[in-house]
A and B are shown apart, each in its own frame.
Chain A
């Protein structure tokens, strides 16, 4: 007994040393190439703009004040509205899909795989597919013109609708997969019990299924909202100059406009949105009866 205990003590003592030696190189890398850059971005958002672009070491809050300008307020409002709208739409159509997956029997593996594939296919290529369909000489307009339903090509590209379609197309799998995971864990006997006790389908959904799927709904909403909030390619390629989102503003300040501190401030605005979303997610997860994913 004593021998055993001492062996474990030796293992444990060695463990903490070995553990740190295992995690240290990675932690160092993440701190240097992720945390420090984020801190630098935050810092430079409070600095003045240099005469030739770049950053001057003088404290100022002007870049944040600048967001009160109607132009930037409208970009902020648009970004928020579209990200929330896309998240909500993904939830509405993604939930039934997740339910199908959880109950698909032997088709399950194939169907889940088909949701994963778009997630890992180049987003640039997928956005191009949307352009290919929606541009003036695109497939949709060609078909409609041929059938005589329209005389002039419809203006589909460079509209809010195009950006919205792009966001949903891009991030819907992020919504479906976590909800599917929590629905799959659902114990079917709970539903049978509810049915036996006389609960109608609506009550079975709202009182049993929905609360138990909340961890998935929370995770899915977070994973959809964050990339939508920071999206750059979608609005860049499908929205054009009129449908700028905050991601485009950031990129613009770092390339053509060359106002780095303002760009840093804009990206910190994005990060605070992310922070709020993550906080809400953690709260919701802790409250949910099913626990975290």
Chain B
């Protein structure tokens, strides 16, 4: 529907309340991250104190580094694997296709806690020590499907005749892939990668189950801070996380929306 219809007042009212409910809590957190008071719900002046304090905490900085490492590694691996799967599913007639499609959706519908404990069982049974390696493996496992879904959506919208033309003109599968498909596909790949990174960077439940001693990522440190209650530094971290996530999603959104960057 492209035309703007007149919306009944009650629908606008419900929508307004929902948007308020969805965004007011985070806005409050952001505002109070600049509050110059230990008792964080009384406003007593502006400060950047809670942000500078973050830089003094080694555990947070170390955890941030580990989160970036885990996010980067798992994003690269899951983007490569997820894109390959999307290509195979979208461009080839494979036997047992329905089974393969079903397999892609298993990680999407499996609750995090179930995914986490089943991986824990696997790692323990195989004798793999828990640590940064197992966190990366776990993140790849839950990210692949999301990358596949995003990249595949882009592939379905692409003109396949260019690839066919390249093949008929004598390019082999590999050349066609790198010189014809990838250049058209890259916004999809990049937006899949951004989503993968965001999910990896945010994950707490699965990470907490497959991480070993001394390999905490940022969400695990934040969880500890939330649990122990309560200093306004969490508000500051939350604000940073919110800003970073919103930026990544905005970029990803632009990439998927514009069909061709000409």
Task: Please tell me if the beta carbons of B114 and A250 are within 8 angstroms of each other in the complex.
Answer: yes
Residue B119, interface by CB 8 Å: yes
Shortest CB-to-CB span from A208 to chain B, Å, is: 13
> What separation, in Å, do the CA atoms of A224 and B4 have in the docked complex?
29
Task: Please tell me if the beta carbons of B41 and A137 are within 8 angstroms of each other in the complex.
Answer: yes
Chain A hits for B84, CB < 8 A? 22-23, 25-26
Interface residues of B in 25-46 (CB under 8 A from A): 25-26, 28-29, 32, 39-42
Interface of B is mostly: helix
Residue B59, interface by CB 8 Å: no
Query: CB within 8 A of A263: which of B117, B125, B204?
Result: B117
Task: Please tell me if the beta carbons of B111 and A18 are within 8 angstroms of each other in the complex.
Answer: no
Query: CB within 8 A of B22: which of A16, A38, A127, A173?
Result: A173
Interface of A is mostly: helix
- Given A120-B249, A250-B114, A115 and B167 contact (CB-CB distance below 8 Å): no
Residue A99, interface by CB 8 Å: yes
Query: CB within 8 A of A7: which of B10, B168, B245?
Result: B168
Chain A hits for B242, CB < 8 A? 121, 125
A107: nearest chain-B partner, CB-CB: B4
Residue A52, interface by CB 8 Å: no
Task: Please tell me if the beta carbons of A120 and B195 are within 8 angstroms of each other in the complex.
Answer: yes
Residue A290, interface by CB 8 Å: no
- Given A123-B202, A169-B22, A33 and B117 contact (CB-CB distance below 8 Å): no
Task: Please tell me if the beta carbons of B141 and A29 are within 8 angstroms of each other in the complex.
Answer: yes
Interface residues of A in 91-145 (CB under 8 A from B): 93-94, 96-97, 99-100, 102-106, 109, 113-118, 120-133, 137-139, 142
Residue A36, interface by CB 8 Å: yes
Interface residues of B in 8-27 (CB under 8 A from A): 10-12, 14-15, 17-19, 21-23, 25-26
Instruction: Tell me how many residues of A have a C-beta within 8 Å of chain B.
Output: 91
B94: nearest chain-A partner, CB-CB: A19
Query: CB within 8 A of A124: which of B14, B42, B93, B223?
Result: B223
> What separation, in Å, do the CA atoms of A195 and B138 have in the docked complex?
53
Residue B7, interface by CB 8 Å: yes
Query: CB within 8 A of A23: which of B21, B100, B110, B122?
Result: B100
> What separation, in Å, do the CA atoms of A120 and B81 have in the docked complex?
22
> What separation, in Å, do the CA atoms of A127 and B225 have in the docked complex?
13
Shortest CB-to-CB span from A182 to chain B, Å, is: 12
Chain B hits for A173, CB < 8 A? 22
Residue B1, interface by CB 8 Å: yes
Query: CB within 8 A of A41: which of B12, B26, B117, B202?
Result: B117
Query: CB within 8 A of A19: which of B19, B39, B92, B238?
Result: B92
Chain A hits for B222, CB < 8 A? 122, 124-125, 128
- Given A22-B88, A23-B88, A30-B103, A260 and B121 contact (CB-CB distance below 8 Å): yes
Chain A hits for B223, CB < 8 A? 124
Residue B140, interface by CB 8 Å: yes
Chain A hits for B246, CB < 8 A? 117, 121
Task: Please tell me if the beta carbons of A251 and B113 are within 8 angstroms of each other in the complex.
Answer: yes
Contact code string A67-96 (vs B, CB < 8 Å = 1, else 0): 000000000000000000000000001101
Task: Please tell me if the beta carbons of B41 and A139 are within 8 angstroms of each other in the complex.
Answer: yes
Shortest CB-to-CB span from A145 to chain B, Å, is: 10
- Given A16-B93, A142-B42, A263-B117, A27 and B245 contact (CB-CB distance below 8 Å): no
Chain A hits for B167, CB < 8 A? 11
Shortest CB-to-CB span from A1 to chain B, Å, is: 14
Task: Please tell me if the beta carbons of A125 and B241 are within 8 angstroms of each other in the complex.
Answer: yes
Query: When A and B form their complex, which 6 residue pairs have the shortest distance between CB atoms, in order from nearest?
Result: A230-B111, A19-B92, A23-B88, A105-B4, A37-B118, A129-B25
Known: A94-B18, A120-B249, A124-B219. 15 other contacts (CB 8 A): A16-B92, A20-B92, A29-B140, A34-B141, A37-B122, A109-B257, A117-B245, A120-B199, A125-B222, A126-B26, A139-B41, A184-B1, A247-B111, A250-B114, A260-B121
A-B contact pairs, 9 of them (CB 8 A): A22-B92, A25-B84, A26-B81, A26-B82, A35-B106, A100-B7, A172-B22, A188-B1, A271-B111
